Structures are given as structure tokens and as C-alpha cells.
């Protein structure tokens, strides 16, 4: 019996495991901001994001958080910040 099918199965299983390990919304911006401390006020959040290369369009309260609408590298992002801790809770890339 040849070991070729076993090797193929091992490679396929390893590739699948690696793909599943990535978060579904994997993006450079979300990985650089997830869990980052960016500030507790609209002004602090804006300054922090601008310092990281974002163009901040608006920051407003939403669902108990501060939501920043920002652009970077031609992509639009919504950055949700916990106003009590100043930490980024979620980053969504918009189409």
C-alpha cells in the first residue's frame, strides 16, 4: 500500500486546520487595532487613529460604545471602542 494517499490527507488536513485558525474577518487593519488602547473620547480616538494612518470621518456613540468611521488604504472601517476602557472592541471592514 502506497503512502501517497496518507501524505495527501495529512497535507489537506494541515491546510484546513491552518485556514480555520484565521478569523473570518482577517484583515491587516483589524489585527493591528484589535484590543488596542485608542482613547476614551472622540478626540483621543481620532488622534490615535490618525497617528496610525487612518483618515477619521466621524466618531459617534452607538450601542454603548464609541464608533469611529475611518478610511485607510482605500478601505472603509468601523472601529468600535469601549469608552470606559478606551480599548478597541471590534473592527469591521465595510464594502
* pTM metric for this prediction: 0.68
Residue 90 has pLDDT above 80, yes or no: yes
Q: What is the mean pLDDT of residues 31-58?
A: 94
47: CB partners within 8 A, 6+ apart: 39
Buried b / exposed e along 10-35 (16+ C-beta atoms within 10 A): eeeeeeeeeeeeeeeeeeebbeebee
**47-74 pLDDT, tens per residue?**
999 999 999 999 999 988 999 999 999 9
Percent of the chain scored above 70 by pLDDT?
Answer: 68
Question: What is the reported pLDDT for 20?
Answer: 44
Amino acid at each position: 500500500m502506497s503512502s501517497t494517499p496518507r501524505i495527501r490527507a495529512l497535507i489537506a488536513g494541515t491546510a484546513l486546520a491552518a485556514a480555520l485558525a484565521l478569523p473570518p474577518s482577517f484583515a491587516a487593519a483589524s489585527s493591528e487595532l484589535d484590543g488596542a488602547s485608542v482613547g476614551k473620547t472622540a478626540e483621543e480616538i481620532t488622534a490615535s487613529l490618525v497617528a496610525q494612518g487612518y483618515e477619521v470621518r466621524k466618531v459617534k456613540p452607538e450601542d454603548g460604545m464609541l464608533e469611529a468611521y475611518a478610511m485607510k488604504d482605500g478601505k472603509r472601517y468601523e472601529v468600535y471602542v469601549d469608552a470606559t476602557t478606551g480599548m478597541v472592541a471590534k473592527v469591521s471592514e465595510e464594502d
